[in-house]
Amino acid sequence: MFYPHAPDPTDTVIVGISGGVDSAVAALLLKQAGLKVQGLFMSNWDDQDSYCTTADDYQDARRVCEKLSIPLHRVSFAAEYRKHVFAHFLSEYAAGRTPNPDVLCNREIKFGYCLDYIHRLGGSWIATGHYARVKHTHEPQLLRAIDSSKDQSYFLHSVAPAALRQTLFPLGELLKSEVRSLAHAAGLPVFDKPDSTGICFIGERPFEEFLSRYLPINPGPIETDTGKIIGEHRGLHLYTVGQRSGLRVGGTVGAAAKPWYVAEKKVSRNALVVVQEQDHALLLSTRFTVEQVAWIGAEPDMRASLNYTVKTRYRQIDQACHFQLAPTATLTVTLKESMRAVTPGQYAVFYLGERCIGGGVIANRL
């Protein structure tokens, strides 16, 4: 059943408890609102190595739920994660693109398999510690969080509207500092736990070492934009457009003593093109194409007069744009001003003011 404004007090809300402060406060706020709250801990990566924090995170989740006097369920979608998220992640890197697994993880796992599991537990709503807002009108609207520095609507843009109808984001109106203060005041044991980083469910680990377990090392030339070979890369999948560190081409004869930046990946001949100017023409784009586009609700009006903006990376300030849909269902996006390091494989996410209207995968720079 769809509730247009808020859950009924008789509904069960199941909160994804990760063992961090955000999900703990989400559960706290829902319980304080008088709702029937339960917790669910997901462990979706099954390699128990020195970088895996699942065991510790579960104990933190258990302590949080004990403090809040709510039941805690535990489930693993490790097989589903490997099939629907990690396999795509590897195939994109193998193709020389730079994927963002967090978007797929949200769509396929947290608001897909997990939401189905929540229904089997008797839950009517899913809640998480994401910093975003859902406006529950006749059609759900995904809105930016009040805390712009923590807003995660970028990662949620491809969650199905049917899932958003059953979703609560209790932290959407709060600043991160307020969240930690609430956790401290409530005596939650994770009030000062550092924020998690790294790949969704896999965690923070040496990236090159990790990828080398799954993808073959295929070195090739590092070239300037004029075709001069100045070094050797360790595999195209280890680099992304705009990257500065880790190129190992300092002190090149005949070149200025300035940093080098990744400008292009020439996959057909396994070459990495680098430039020295941070705003080199090869790093700037005013047009690019987007595929696998998904809208939240009806397809938007594509008149150029409307005030659409786009992000091509999570931490980026979005820029004014307009877009045109080709017969192939590919969007051509035109920017009002040039944007740096538009990267194939990453997501372009579109906004109309505070509302996130959808997005897709960046295919090519034009």
User: Which ranges of the chain does DSSP label H, i.e. alpha helix?
Assistant: 21-32, 54-68, 78-81, 87-94, 101-104, 114-120, 153-156, 161-164, 176-185, 207-212
**If we measure between CA atoms, which residue out of 242, 256, 249 comes closest to residue 284?**
242
Inter-CA distances, 297 with 7, 74, 131, 286, Å: 21, 32, 21, 27
Q: Answer for the pair 60, 190: CB distance below 8 angstroms, yes or no.
A: yes
Residues labelled as active-site residues = 105, 200
Q: Given the structure tokens 């150029």, which residue do they identify?
A: 304
Instruction: Provide the token pair at 29.
Output: 């706020």
CA distance 335 to 282: 16
Please tell me whether residue 351 adopts helix, strand or coil conformation.
strand
Q: Are the beta carbons of 347 and 103 closer than 8 angstroms?
A: yes
- What are the structure tokens assigned to 162, written together? 């049917």
